[in-house]
Amino acid sequence: MTEFPSEQPYHGPDPDAEPQPEDFPADEPGYETEPVREESHPLVEETMTRLDELRELPVSEHGEVYAALHERLQSALAESDGDPS
């Protein structure tokens, strides 16, 4: 055995690593390219739609969208905290 971990022999992928989409063939049964979302609150759906639209925007505009969505979600949470229903 060597003194430095970088000198250890490679034994394959890290078993603790999260699986990546490229780890699974697309034609494998049950493989889905789009995540399945269960029905949720309309505000959550709106937020997820806006996040999906980020692909169309330049990265320089992402921060503004994130900030607006964060503010809207925070407001909704604050309102729901005060709502007895």
The DSSP secondary structure of 5-32, one letter per residue, reads: GGGSPP-SS-TTSPP-GGGS-TTSTT--
What residues does each domain of the chain span? 38-85
Query: What pLDDT, on the 0 to 100 scale, is given for residue 44?
Result: 87
What is the rounded average pLDDT of the residues 21-25?
64
Give the tens place of pLDDT for each residue, 31-65: 555 666 567 788 888 999 999 999 999 999 999 99
Return left, alpha or beta for 26; rule: phi > 0 is left, psi -120 to 50 is alpha, else beta: alpha
Report pLDDT for 82. 77
Is the pLDDT higher at 36 or at 68? 68
